[in-house]
Chains A and B, each alone.
Chain A
């Protein structure tokens, strides 16, 4: 039995200890905003915050997060108005949208560490894949979100 807190709600999960957090969230807890893209921590579509740190949940066994506090895209803000979400809407970022939960979660954590990122900071730290190629607009949205967070 593993106990995790997801977006403020405690869950007790009776599943195989090697089950990745991704599938625990999607299939057991029932939160599907976190996406499966590769299963090997390559693409970042499954990014969530574990005790505030951005992690690729497809490669984190549930046994390793017993007692941890998890934030998913559904819990990033109560109303979908986190500065990163606002910036994403303002810059019209998503196309197919599938990778965007992971992108937004990665960026939200990144901006806490680097409130005034340069383009080089973004290149080095945000390594999620967007197959639709929305990098141009994501880059603008990251800078916009940084400004919003300071305002």
Chain B
């Protein structure tokens, strides 16, 4: 193949693909019958193979249906639709003939980690898989073309592929993909084809309905909790109510007469009851037990004490994350200084599907039905816990009923394996809502102090930021050798703030209590941005400047930030007068490579009742695979952040997390859900952003800043429900 021929063929492919793209526009608004599909059961067959495999990622059946294996997890974020869209862009297959299933972690173990990183967190599913998915699609397309060309005895460069058909340009002869797949599977390309650059995309970028929606509207979508196996029994569990505590003893005589109760299983830090028939039986039996725990010193601790200790730690030694200029020299020269301390509580993830796992343990084989954010890590963990080899373990990853970071640590799986070994039967372990909430690995609590030195015009010339916050790495026992400064989550949003201030220092004090902490949607940013963007508003207020215009000045020259900020201001009618009792607040952040800004428009009654009426979101993810799912993530992430801002707190008494269910750990419902408008303003550039988390942080500050605009009250701690917003209150 000479260079000219390559160019000619590429031009033709682009032309042909435009026709497919035109079709796709129709599909995007059309009925789901024309869309790709996911089965009710997302996990792959037994060992992740299909007789019609082209390779580990794609199988094409004789009827032209295309099976694409999705290497990550679907927990609501939509990348189970996005990644197959990326494959389709290059494969030039008919989207309506695409079926998607999870790639098998077992196959990956057996085949030299063919699926690589299978994790879904850090908003990175598209970011990390995009190139690979394009390559997989392009390679399959070229092999199909090569198979057709060989049958016709023509040159591959004289053939084109579009809409699941390979055509010989000169003669008009065609083969369907399904007729070629068997031959294509045997072809190895001498050289992998080049992949498209974003300007060549014709399918990526179109709003496509999520492939997993239909099974999620009729009850058929399989979540881990829905697993049913022959001879399966049910387990309920209570871990020590004080995290870190151990089981001393438990008297199981109260269960003697209970029907269906099989066994009490004692674990080092938990007690479980196994019953036949229903989970309810196991749960009821467990409630009759009164285990004795060794809770240690943690059993006397509480939230007020933690708060005092975290405030005191503000003056302790800190690890520096960023240091520009010299703040210590600049502060004395400032015309005015301003200081404020912010506080954010522990939070639970509270995914709607509580932690659960179903385990079938046999001497030489282990099957696990679970919702995990990282099946490749889960299979290794299962091997460690069970004593089997990873090759003997089958992770049947299910649709995940919400995760938000929690389901990257499968505590329930280790328990379920231990219980299955004890009872020698397939067992389904479910954490009650209370267990799920109180035995969470929580969003850390934090205390954050800001000090700003302003010049005569009210602009900051010196700015220090210090966070006292729980270390997630320490809590997980993770070591990051070579990590300079504090762990990234501790200063996320602070260290990477874009404000042009000549002297700036960001540091952190890592401080943990006995409560385990972990990643919670937009780790670090979800609390640091509340604090930072509220404090920016404080500076603007002291300087007598409009909060939007003040941020514009501080972001001078940062064109991508300004675009997002200007978009959200314009679309939200920023500056337009509102009736008394209403106001707007603005905030912006950089999260997982995407910029996101909110304007919240609120009403506060004289009695102090707050209603968030309308939220405008602008986001720059750099590139867009599926604008529909990005908009959905912006909407959902906003509500997630709003629940935290309005109601979210886990408090501790005698070492025990107090809130255990949705009556005390409140959520936004319809009555509190604002109208949300999303504007996507992709700026391109070398890096791709993520969409799953960006809209959670800024909404909290946007609402708090709006409260200041209406009432003059500055919210320096969350949740907002703990503040009296009524007129006349302090």
Contacts and interface: CB of A to CB of B under 8 A. Distances in A.
B400 A36 contact: no
A139 B635 CA distance: 13
B209 interface: yes
B668 interface: yes
Interface in B574-591: none
A126 to B, nearest CB: 5
A39 interface: yes
Contacts of B77: 95
Contacts of A113: none
A99 B352 contact: yes
Given A27-B277, A38-B661, A127-B670, A136 B213 contact: no
Contacts of A129: 352, 662, 667, 669
A76 B226 CA distance: 19
Interface string B630-663: 0010011111101100000000000000000111
B352 A43 contact: yes
A99 B670 CA distance: 14
A123 B670 contact: yes
A38 B433 contact: yes
Most B CB within 10 A of own CB, among A31, A35, A37, A96: A96
B187 interface: no
B278 interface: yes
Interface string B65-83: 0000000000111100000
B350 A131 contact: yes
A146 interface: no
A104 B280 contact: no
A101 B401 contact: no
Given A94-B212, A123-B671, A133-B673, A80 B217 contact: yes
Q: Chain A interface mostly helix, strand, loop or mixed?
A: loop
B482 interface: no
A132 B76 contact: yes
B228 A96 contact: no
What's the interface size class on A, roughly? 35 or more
Interface in A1-59: 15-16, 18-20, 23-24, 26-28, 30-40, 42-43, 45
Contact of A37 (B226, B403, B433, B668): B433
A133 B668 contact: yes
A98 B561 CA distance: 36
A33 B628 CA distance: 26
A122 B673 CA distance: 11
Contacts of A147: none
B280 A19 contact: yes
Nearest to B677: A136
A27 B233 CA distance: 10
A132 B401 CA distance: 9
Contacts of B214: 80, 89
B639 to A, nearest CB: 3
A72 B219 CA distance: 9
A33 B662 contact: no
Contacts of B75: 96
B710 interface: no
Given A135-B639, A136-B673, A31 B219 contact: yes
A96 B632 contact: no
Given A96-B351, A98-B402, A134-B635, A88 B225 contact: no
A73 interface: yes
A74 B636 contact: no
A131 to B, nearest CB: 5
A89 B636 contact: no
B368 to A, nearest CB: 18
Interface in B212-243: 212-223, 225-226, 228, 234
B605 interface: no
Question: Which of A34, A72, A85, A131 lies at the interface centre, i.e. has the most chain B CB atoms within 10 A of its CB?
Answer: A131
A107 B662 CA distance: 21
Given A98-B402, A129-B667, A136 B353 contact: no
B675 interface: yes
Nearest to A76: B218
A144 interface: no
Contacts of B667: 129, 131
B639 A133 contact: yes
A111 B416 CA distance: 42
B281 interface: yes
A97 B212 contact: yes
Given A23-B280, A45-B352, A80-B217, A131 B640 contact: yes
Contacts of A100: 216-217
A92 B284 CA distance: 38
A60 to B, nearest CB: 12
Interface centre among B213, B222, B354 (most CB of A within 10 A): B213
A53 to B, nearest CB: 19
B674 to A, nearest CB: 9
A85 B218 contact: yes
A124 interface: yes
A131 B280 contact: no
Given A16-B259, A32-B226, A74 B219 contact: yes
Given A80-B214, A94-B216, A129-B669, A28 B352 contact: no
B639 A28 contact: no
Contacts of B225: 32, 35-36
Contact of B670 (A33, A85, A88, A126): A126
B123 interface: no
A26 B637 CA distance: 30
A95 B277 contact: no
B432 interface: yes
A99 to B, nearest CB: 5
B401 A98 contact: yes
A151 to B, nearest CB: 15
Nearest to B35: A89
A70 interface: no
B220 A96 contact: no
Given A27-B278, A40-B663, A131-B350, A93 B213 contact: yes
B429 interface: no
B661 A40 contact: yes
Given A27-B277, A27-B278, A122-B670, A133 B433 contact: no
Contacts of A127: 669-671
Contacts of B259: 16
B519 interface: no
A74 B637 contact: no
A73 B218 contact: yes
Nearest to B615: A136
B697 to A, nearest CB: 14
19 contacts: A19-B280, A27-B277, A27-B279, A32-B226, A42-B663, A43-B352, A89-B32, A89-B214, A94-B76, A96-B351, A97-B221, A122-B670, A126-B670, A127-B669, A129-B667, A131-B402, A132-B636, A133-B640, A137-B635
Given A73-B218, A96-B76, 9 more contacts: A27-B280, A33-B219, A40-B433, A89-B209, A99-B352, A127-B669, A127-B671, A131-B351, A131-B402
Interface of B: 32, 75-78, 209-210, 212-223, 225-226, 228, 234, 259, 277-281, 284, 350-354, 399-404, 430, 432-433, 628, 632, 635-640, 642-643, 661-663, 667-671, 673, 675-676
Interface of A: 15-16, 18-20, 23-24, 26-28, 30-40, 42-43, 45, 72-74, 76, 80, 85, 88-89, 92-101, 104, 122-124, 126-139
Q: 7 shortest A-B CB distances, which residue pairs?
A: A33-B219, A133-B639, A98-B401, A97-B216, A95-B76, A96-B76, A73-B219
